[in-house]
A and B are shown apart, each in its own frame.
Chain A
Amino acid sequence: MQSTRYIRRQIQSTKNTAKITKAMEMVSAAKMRKSQEAALIARPYAEAALKLLGNISNSVESKKDYPLLMERKVEKICLLVATSDKGLCGGLNSTILKEAVKIISENQDKEISLITIGKKAEKFFRGKQNILAVFENIGDTVELGETLPISKMLMDDFLGEKYDRVIAVYTNFVSTLKQEAKVKNLLPVTEESFKETLDEMGRDEKGRTKKMVDNTEYLFEPSAEEVLKYLLPALVETQVFHVILESNASEHSARMVAMKNATDNAKELLEDLKLSYNYARQQKITQEMTEIAAGVTAQEG
Chain B
Amino acid sequence: MKINLRVVTPEKIAFEGEIDQISIPTGKGQITILPKHISLVSTMKHGELIIKSDEKEILMAVYGGFVEIRKNKMTVMTDIAERMEEIDEAKAEEARKEAQQRLLRKDQMSDVAFADTVAILEKSLARLKVAKRKHTRHL
A residues touching B (Cβ–Cβ < 8 Å)?
A: 38, 41-42, 44-46, 48-49, 51-52, 55-56, 143-144, 216-222, 224, 226-227, 230-231, 234, 237-238, 241
| B123 → chain A closest CB, angstroms | 10
Known contacts A227-B42, A230-B66, then 17 further A-B pairs from the complex at CB < 8 Å, ordered by chain A residue: A38-B11, A41-B13, A44-B13, A48-B8, A51-B68, A143-B11, A144-B9, A216-B39, A217-B39, A219-B39, A219-B41, A221-B28, A226-B27, A230-B64, A237-B10, A238-B10, A241-B10
Find chain B residues with CB under 8 A from A144 CB.
9-11, 79
Known: A45-B77, A226-B27, A234-B77. A221 touches B8 (CB 8 A): no
A-B contact pairs, 19 of them (CB 8 A): A41-B13, A44-B6, A45-B77, A48-B6, A52-B66, A56-B41, A144-B79, A216-B39, A216-B71, A218-B39, A219-B38, A219-B39, A220-B41, A222-B28, A222-B42, A226-B27, A227-B43, A230-B43, A234-B66
B15 to chain A, nearest CB (A): 11
Chain B residues 36 to 59 lying within 8 A of chain A, measured CB to CB, are 38-43
Q: Are A52 and B41 in contact (CB under 8 A)?
A: yes
Q: A48-B68, A52-B68 are in contact. Are A226 and B43 (CB under 8 A)?
A: yes
Taking the complex as formed, is B65 at the interface, i.e. its CB lies under 8 A from any CB of chain A?
yes
A231 touches B12 (CB 8 A): no
A38 contacts which chain B residues (CB < 8 A)? 11
> How distant is A182 from chain B, measured CB to nearest CB, in Å?
19
Q: How large is the interface on B (under 10, 10 to 19, 20 to 34, 35 or more residues)?
A: 20 to 34
Residues of B within 8 A of A226 (CB): 27, 43
Closest 6 CB pairs of A and B: A221-B42, A45-B8, A144-B10, A44-B8, A219-B40, A48-B75
Which residues of chain A have C-beta atoms less than 8 A from B79's C-beta? 144
Q: Which residues of A contact B42 (CB under 8 A)?
A: 220-222, 227
Report the minimal beta-carbon distance from B117 to chain A, rounded to whole angstroms: 15
Minimum CB–CB distance for B27 against chain A, Å: 6
Check B8–A218 contact: CB distance below 8 A.
Answer: no
Q: Do A227 and B10 contact each other (CB < 8 Å), given the known contacts A48-B68, A221-B27?
A: no
Within the complex, what minimum Cβ distance (angstroms) separates A171 from chain B?
Answer: 20
